[in-house]
Amino acid sequence: MKKITSIKTRITIWYTTLMFILIVVVLSLVGGLSYQLSIDSIEKNVVLQVTQVTEKLSRRQPGVFEIVGNKEEFKNVSIYENDGKYIVGQYNYDIANIPFEEGIPRRENIAGKDYIVYDKSTPGPPGRHGGFWIRGVESVSSTMLLGRSAIIIMLIIIPLILLLTAFGGYYITKRAFKPVNNIIKTANDISDQKDVSRRIEIKPDAKEDELHHLSVTLNKMLDKIENLITQEKQFTSDASHELRTPISVILAQGEYLLDIAKDEKEKELAQTIVDKSKQISKLVSRLLLLARIDSRRQKFNKEKVDLGVLIDIAVQSTKELASQKGILVFSNIPEGTIVEADESLLLSAITNLISNGIKYGNKSGHVAVSASKLDNKTQIVVADNGVGISKEHLDKIWTRFYRVDDVRNDEYGSSGLGLSMVKSIISLHGGTISVKSSPGNGTEFIIIL
């Protein structure tokens, strides 16, 4: 059976069950008690009537037989001869066969019906040769009415009360838990859209209960987190910006040194300066781009872009790297595949994926770029038959500065920022990117725009 996970449903079931038990217990107690009281009063009444008639008989009061036969107050009493022969009173055929028994009122069941029976013998007036039996009989069935009405109440009222309890309770808990839904929604919005500026909605007239305090506290915490993130982004952005000029100067000086180098040793040193400066420059540009996208300051010029042309440019720009590794880069884009995108951003994303395919490709391998239309979307696939990525790294490769193999990647001046930049660019376009890979067989990046 499926476990009930909703707190609202669990609470509702819990107190509806409790309410049911409570009603049944209370009604049973009240019903049982009133039933017992009715029996007691019947017994008392029967004993009283029998005692009064007995007294009248023993004192030889005239007209006793008439009283018993006609008076309403003695309607439950009958008088019998000592041998059980009926004389007067309420002649009950069912009861008549029950042997007489002196003692306390007792319960007799005749033909499925309950009766209270009380017998008393009296010698009768002085001078009479035989005594009498006085019998009082009253049906218990009338008292059953009380029990029956309790049952009817139970059958009609209990379901009604329970229905009311369940609906009312569910409605109240649903209202009480509404802030929790707001909290869940905001948390989901923040994690889905990566937008920490979202806050839990708090109505001005909301009751100041525990959940209200929780919402206020969480909003305060989000303020702090947003502040910290903004500061961190600002720092990255400022630092990258400040680094750009000195790096350009170092690069220019390095290139100058390379030009005037007198021997191989100096050339080698100058080349290192140039290579490392280019590497730092690339890293700083990526950091700056990421910081701009994060803070929504990145300019985004959406226009109609011919994908075939854009991918041709990307392939051309990676040609040198590809030929160094003897890797063949080819593309297959149906003519007239147009996408709405920021041309330079999409170009740098796809160039990055192709470069990765080359960097992590095997000698004489290949990188294939293809595109196809899916409904009103465009799918771009960059696939290689290189080293591949093992499962444990697959979902971490989008993390900033994450590199699968530090040593291997160092030879290409890897930074671990490429894929996070690609992902940010594709998200900025409202698209998605995913990866499939099998170690030793290659990797496939799938963009959907």
Which residue number, 68 or 425, has a Cβ lying nearer to ligand ADP? 425
H-helix or E-strand containing 81?
strand 77-81
- Long-range contacts of the stretch 9-12 (C-beta < 8 A, 24+): 9/170, 11/169, 11/173, 12/166, 12/169, 12/170, 12/173
285 binds ligand ADP (CB under 6 A): no
Which residue number, 82 or 279, has a Cβ lying nearer to ligand ADP? 279
Which residue number, 375 or 395, has a Cβ lying nearer to ligand ADP? 395
Binding string, 344-373, against ligand ADP, x = CB under 6 A?
------------xx--x-------------
d(CA 242, CA 56): 125
State the minimum distance, in angstroms, from the CB of residue 406 to ligand ADP: 8
Which residue number, 290 or 310, has a Cβ lying nearer to ligand ADP? 290
Which residue number, 139 or 370, has a Cβ lying nearer to ligand ADP? 370
Among 69, 136, 365, 418, binds ligand ADP (CB under 6 A): 418
Which residue number, 138 or 384, has a Cβ lying nearer to ligand ADP? 384
Residue of 312, 330, 440 whose CA lies nearest to 382: 330
Span of 4-12, 147-155, 181-189, 414-422 interacting with ligand ADP by CB under 6 A: 414-422
287 binds ligand ADP (CB under 6 A): no
- CB count within 10 Å of CB 319 equals 11
Which residue number, 96 or 435, has a Cβ lying nearer to ligand ADP? 435
Alpha helices in 318-404 (DSSP H): 319-325, 343-359, 391-394
| Near ligand ADP in 379-408, by CB under 6 A | 384, 386-389, 397, 402-405
**80: its two tokens:** 């019998």
State the minimum distance, in angstroms, from the CB of residue 434 to ligand ADP: 13
Binding string, 180-199, against ligand ADP, x = CB under 6 A?
--------------------
Which residue number, 404 or 447, has a Cβ lying nearer to ligand ADP? 404
3-state secondary structure of 369: strand
Phi, psi of 200 (to 5 degrees): -70, 130
Is-contact 315 355, C-beta < 8 A?
no
d(CA 211, CA 180): 7
State the minimum distance, in angstroms, from the CB of residue 353 to ligand ADP: 7
Which residue number, 75 or 278, has a Cβ lying nearer to ligand ADP? 278
Residue of 120, 48, 134 whose CA lies nearest to 88: 134
Which residue number, 69 or 357, has a Cβ lying nearer to ligand ADP? 357
- Please state whether beta strands 132-139 and 328-332 pair in parallel, antiparallel, or not at all (unpaired): unpaired
State the minimum distance, in angstroms, from the CB of residue 404 to ligand ADP: 3
Please report where in the chains the tokens 């028994």 appear, as a residue: 101
DSSP state of 416: S
State the minimum distance, in angstroms, from the CB of residue 278 to ligand ADP: 14
283 binds ligand ADP (CB under 6 A): no
419 binds ligand ADP (CB under 6 A): yes
Please report where in the chains the tokens 């040793």 appear, as a residue: 265
Beta bridge partners of 446: 381, 434
Residue of 273, 287, 210, 207 whose CA lies nearest to 243: 287
Give the gyration radius of the chain's Cα atoms: 49
H-helix or E-strand containing 118?
strand 113-122
State the minimum distance, in angstroms, from the CB of residue 430 to ligand ADP: 21
CA dihedral defined by 201, 202, 206, 207, rounded to 10 degrees? 110
State the minimum distance, in angstroms, from the CB of residue 248 to ligand ADP: 21
443 binds ligand ADP (CB under 6 A): yes
The site for ligand ADP (CB under 6 A) is made up of 356-357, 360, 384, 386-389, 397, 402-405, 409, 414-420, 443
